[in-house]
Amino acid sequence: MGYIKRNLLPDEEVEYSTNLHWIIFVGPLFILAIAAVFNGISDNAQDQDTKSTFAILNLILLFGSLISGLSAIVAYFTSEFGVTNQRVLIKVGLIRRDTFELLLNKVESFQVNQSILGRILGYGTIIISGTGGGKNTFHNIDDPLFLKNHVQQSAKEYEQRFSPNHPPALGKNKTVTSVADELHKLSNLMEQGILTEDEFEEQKRKLLEH
């Protein structure tokens, strides 16, 4: 079970999740290819100094390819980018782990930057801005536009559920919801400042009349 599923809140459901793109493995493979070229030069060189020089360069590049490759593998399998019906959640890293969580109603903007190669291969950079003014940037995301679409759709649905002009929506998997539970939710919204006292009374009246 991944980080996102382990940290879901009550009544929270994952709408969409993605990972890093395979492009992160291109760098280590490119270094490995150069190492193979240097190894060939070393094997075919007639001069001993040339042979030794390229043999040393080959070992250095092999070591660099191994380190960068292991780093890419760890990043690929330990990074998660997802959106639920309540939040945007991101986790990057294993030993040094960075997490990012933002309520959907706090998402001010969600930008996607893609190079020409990124558009062809389907990867890019996402930049998320919260209402507090901070920006968080994440690179090499697989299909970032699809993630952006899900964030926008989930944010729209979240706003509709908690808008003062709409009664709280019933859960997807519930046919009957306790009136007491809904009144408790409305009370919490008023305490958080999302609803005024007058809006709370209006929503309570609509709920009791439903």
Residue 124, classified by CB atoms within 10 Å of its CB into exposed (0-12), middle (13-18) or buried (19+), is buried
CA 51 and chain centroid, separation: 47
Task: Give residue 208's pLDDT.
Answer: 62
The model scores a pTM over 0.85: no
Residues in the chain with pLDDT values less than 70: 1, 163-181, 183-184, 186-188, 190-193, 195, 200, 204-205, 207-210
Taking alpha carbons only, the member of 80, 110, 74 closest to residue 92 is 80
The DSSP call for residue 9 is P
Q: How many Å apart are CA 40 and CA 46, to the nearest integer?
A: 12
